[in-house]
Chains A and B, each alone.
Chain A
């Protein structure tokens, strides 16, 4: 059994689908932060069989976690302060996501316009449908950046 020490302040992202932790690491731009990150892959899970876990030691106000809801809203977000879980964050689908997924419509202006961000807007909250801001092409979670 692998032991990873507990963190004093930050987040523990649990129940990540096995193999997805590195995607989330990049989406949260953790590579840009100067903080301790533990990536645990393929941990045993009663609920999921296998799962990934991310532990991030940082100021809890530094991360925008809304994007997690778009990637996988089943992720459990534990907020840690003074070594204890002080909150379990409820993930809310973001109204807009910028440069997380690419518009796949070859007729979309994003395919040729230089410097234009790929922006997807939440079109149907109930069905979790995002559409390209420019051409209204429907997005699936799979068309990652």
Chain B
């Protein structure tokens, strides 16, 4: 039985198959509308994350399956002190597959070890959020036609940004990728990542101004500066508006640039950019559903 804990759990070849399936689902959704009939997805969310939970639920409903679950710890037996191990054993009796979000790092792995059904890590604290990374990869692959052979700018909070670290780790498995890290010094990408890139001889640059690299980029991955990562409000307020992508900055970019964002956005991308065909963050949300559909079908071992 397979689970998904980390974006690197699947080999590049396995990911290719998963993304091919997701693209077939996108092209012909009706063909898959009953693929999971009679199957149930449990969404066990120990902390609220409406977007991820709804994306999982939409994925299962699109496949003709059903969903059950809870959306915060207060409405689950965790509030009575039940362990993750016990909860998953019980959930295994009710559902065929489980998506789990938990504030404690490693909780979905504990569940996977005790579970009788496949478990998908839907985010564990600041640790991993593999379906976000798969969403990013599918979006790039579908809209660029390839994974590799491009320059990607990652902008914003590169220090605490879990999605950025996961995406870098996933992308280095593909060839000919150049990274440009765009952040204020306080939020620069951790040394262990730049050390790893140096060790693997992968090209990267670190810049402070978005304008300095805009014409070079094939992809721009924007992130939000998150209030909860800061110990004092002053630092957060000082840094939160450091980067705002607007039409003026975008005018220097290539015509086939793609602007991605894991969402939710606050103000780091001006709403005037939304109508630009290069802004694909809402399409990215759509690809999030397709990749979760493909993942559910794959982990359940259902043949097409």
Stretch at the interface among B62-70, B98-106, B171-179: B98-106
Q: State whether A108 touches B83 (Cβ < 8 A).
A: no
Among B84, B85, B127, the residue within 8 A (CB) of A135 is B127
B185 interface contact, C-beta 8 A: no
**B residues apposed to A, CB below 8 Å:** 83-85, 102-107, 109-110, 124-127
Enumerate the 3 nearest inter-chain pairs by beta-carbon distance, A residue then B residue, closest first: A134-B106, A135-B105, A109-B104
Known: A135-B127, A136-B127. A111 touches B104 (CB 8 A): yes
Beta-carbon nearest neighbor of A134 in chain B: B106
Number of A-B residue pairs having CB atoms within 8 Å of each other in the complex? 47
What chain A residues lie within 8 Å of B126 (beta carbons)? 107
* Interface of A, helix, strand, loop or mixed by DSSP: loop
Q: State whether A107 touches B84 (Cβ < 8 A).
A: no
Beta-carbon nearest neighbor of B106 in chain A: A134
Within 8 A of B (CB), among A77-132: 105, 107-116, 132
What chain A residues lie within 8 Å of B124 (beta carbons)? 109
Shortest Cβ gap from B224 to chain A (Å): 20
A20 interface contact, C-beta 8 A: no
Given contacts A116-B110, A135-B127, 12 further A-B contacts (CB under 8 A): A107-B105, A108-B104, A109-B102, A109-B104, A109-B124, A110-B106, A113-B104, A113-B110, A133-B106, A133-B109, A134-B105, A134-B109
Cα A39 to Cα B301 with chains together (Å): 57
What chain B residues lie within 8 Å of A116 (beta carbons)? 85, 110
Shortest Cβ gap from A3 to chain B (Å): 51
Interface centre among A115, A116, A134 (most CB of B within 10 A): A134
Interface centre among A114, A135, A136 (most CB of B within 10 A): A135
What chain B residues lie within 8 Å of A134 (beta carbons)? 105-107, 109-110
Q: State whether A113 touches B105 (Cβ < 8 A).
A: no
Pairs across A and B, CB under 8 Å, 23 listed:
A107-B105, A107-B125, A107-B126, A107-B127, A108-B105, A108-B106, A109-B84, A109-B104, A109-B124, A112-B104, A113-B84, A113-B85, A113-B107, A114-B83, A115-B85, A116-B85, A133-B106, A134-B106, A134-B107, A135-B105, A135-B106, A135-B125, A135-B127
